[in-house]
Amino acid sequence: MRRAPSGPSPAPSRELFVRRSQVDAPAAEVFRWHARPGALERLTPPWERLRVLEQSGGIEDGARVVLRMGRGPLAVRWTAEHCDYVDGEQFRDVQRSGPFAHWEHTHRMTPDGPAACRLEDRIEYSLPFGAFGALVAGGLTRQRLARTFEYRHRITAQDIAAHARMGGRTMKIAVSGSSGLIGSALRPLLTTGGHSIVRLVRSGAAPDAASIPWDPERGTIDAAGLEGVDAVVHLAGENIGSGRWTPAKKARIYASRVDGTNVLVRALLGLAHPPQTLVAASAIGYYGNRGHDVVDEDSAPGAGFLTDLCRDWEAATRPAVERGIRVVNLRFGIALSAAGGALTSMLPPFRLGLGGPLGSGEQYMSWVAIDDAIGAVLHALATPALSGPVNVVSPTAVTNRDFAITLGRVLSRPAFLPLPGFAVKLLFGEMGEDLLLGSTRVQPRRLEESGYAFRFPDLEGALRHLLGKN
């Protein structure tokens, strides 16, 4: 019996995923947003462990990007190449190597009148291992694509709307603390809006053409690099939520904020042409432990280490005000992000069903979603009438108990195991007493009065967005 001649293996069956939405902006503008640096970072959901290893070019034909997905031994390297570029209309990326047997992703923007367009992401893909791979992972893959592209389309529309309020004006902006939780999210938001960024980097970090070396501890800064910037966003400071507040830790926290601000402001005052705007970070720790009282920017300061820190931190910017620089002191609440910070430290026990309120659970938490935290920075840059202290918190502060219940509901886990107040103090000392058990019920009065529209005003909507649980 003759055996049939062998031939090439049949191509794996291809699946099709399509996501369409309406964006209230011209197609050319939406295309430009995708073409600018930072678009990939803005479009990557925070729950995806994705890191850019290499990138050559933008989205034009032949441009390539190498990504690392996942962590540890299960991490996968993904190389994609762009092709079929049509300016203002579409571009495509094709997997050259990576986790899929086939991946071809077409991004298309189709005009829908002069001031709107239809955004379409069309993906043809095949999973590895043929029918077996499709059987085992097909449903999960479609679910993952659905929540990823729901996130991406939401971010695209929201970011473009935020940039539209700039009226087409772009700036050169110096940013300190650019690798921190807020700074690392802010950079791609600014660059996708067409702004150019100059980073203040500590001595010893690898410098590049878009960085200014400085050493806050030694009081040095390359002030010449600040000449010509239109605005400065100052976010640098040691993390107050990591570790116990020993005397040495408190001294580092104070110096990193107050002394660092003094160094920066002195440099700005010495410029021939200082920037028009300084947006400087502060914190709602200014108000101290206030129980159930509602406070806003006109409220008196509280008492304690955080109050003294924030008061001196903001006072360090006053010489810039006297020089005629518009200064906005952003008093940040608890910034929620799935990429770091307080929320990520809560997730492991809550995912195991071991989460719950801290202490009595009646203390108020004034929180803000990371997209609103950076949105407030952009709003401060774009609003000439805004100056002085501005609270950056959601308009809906919640008790710690309500926060725990809401996070448990979003994760579909119980959240009733409390951590008694004495245990919090024993584990974390003064830091735990002030940050975890203290109660601050803050309202963003000046932010709202100046026209800022919150993307995520309620906690459950914010957590579902950040964790991909819509």
CB 410 within 8 A of CB 460: yes
Q: Strand 64-69's sheet: what is its strand order?
A: 15-23, 117-126, 102-111, 90-97, 76-86, 64-69, 50-56
Q: What is the mean pLDDT of residues 145-149?
A: 95
What pLDDT score was predicted for residue 276? 96
Measured CA to CA, the distance from residue 107 to residue 85 in angstroms comes to 10
Q: How far is CA 225 from the centre of its chain?
A: 26
Q: Quick one: average pLDDT of 60-84?
A: 91
Average pLDDT over residues 410-415: 95
Confidence label for 2 from pLDDT (cuts 50, 70 and 90):
very low
Q: Which of 4-8, 51-55, 175-179, 458-462 has the lowest mean pLDDT?
A: 4-8
Q: Encode pLDDT of 440-449 as tens digits.
A: 999 999 999 9
| pTM, two decimal places | 0.92
Using alpha carbons only, what angle is made at residue 325 by residues 322 and 328, rounded to the nearest 5 degrees?
Answer: 105
Please state the φ and ψ torsions of residue 410, each to the nearest 5 degrees: -65, -35
- Would you state the structure tokens that stand for residue 65, as one six-digit string? 């990007």
The average pLDDT across 215-239 equals 93
The set of residues, in sequence order, having a beta carbon less than 8 Å from that of 287 and lying 6+ positions away, is 295, 299, 301, 302, 307, 440, 442
**Is the pLDDT score of 205 beyond 60?**
no
Confidence at residue 9, expressed as pLDDT on a 0 to 100 scale: 46
> Comparing C-alpha atoms, which of 200, 322, 326, 210 is closest to residue 263?
200
pLDDT digits (tens, 9 = 90+) for 262-300: 999 999 999 999 999 999 999 999 999 999 999 999 999
User: Beta partners for 336?
Assistant: 369
3-state helix, strand, coil in the chain (%, to 5): 35, 25, 35
Which domains occur in the chain, in start order? 15-164 (3.30.530.20), 176-467 (3.40.50.720)
| Token pair recorded at residue 451 | 């026209």
Cβ burial 64-90 (10 Å sphere, 16+ → b, else e):
ebbbeeeeeeeeeebebbbbebeeebb
State the pLDDT at residue 12.
56
Say yes or no to pLDDT of 8 above 50: no
Burial class (CB in 10 A: 0-12, 13-18, 19+), 430: middle
Average pLDDT over residues 1-17: 59
**Looking at residue 236, what DSSP letter applies?**
-
Q: What's 243-295 look like in SS3?
A: CCCCHHHHHHHHHHHHHHHHHHHHHHHCCCCCCCEEEEEEEHHHHCCCCCCEE
Average pLDDT over residues 96-125: 96
Average pLDDT estimate for 178-207: 89
Which is more confidently placed, 435 or 365?
A: 365
* pLDDT above 90 (res 424): no
Among candidate residues 312, 442, 331, 432, the one with its CA nearest the CA of residue 380: 331
Task: Tell me the pLDDT band of 208, cut-offs 50, 70 and 90.
Answer: low
The rounded percent of the chain whose pLDDT value lies above 90 is: 79
Cβ neighbourhood burial of 227 (10 Å; 0-12, 13-18, 19+):
exposed
CB burial string 365-377: b at 16+ within 10 A, e below: bbbbbbbbbbbbb
Predicted confidence at residue 204, as pLDDT, reads 60
pLDDT tier for residue 202 given thresholds of 50, 70 and 90 = confident
Q: What is the mean pLDDT of the chain?
A: 92
Q: Residue 7 has what pLDDT?
A: 44
pLDDT for 6 equals 45
Read off the pLDDT of each residue in 357-373 and give the average, rounded to a whole number: 96
| Residue 258, pLDDT above cutoff 80 | yes
242 pLDDT above the threshold of 90: no
Sign of the alpha-carbon torsion through 291, 295, 299, 302: positive
Q: What is the pLDDT of residues 295-354, one digit of tens each?
A: 999 999 999 999 999 999 999 999 999 999 999 999 999 999 999 999 999 999 999 999
pLDDT the model gives residue 209: 64
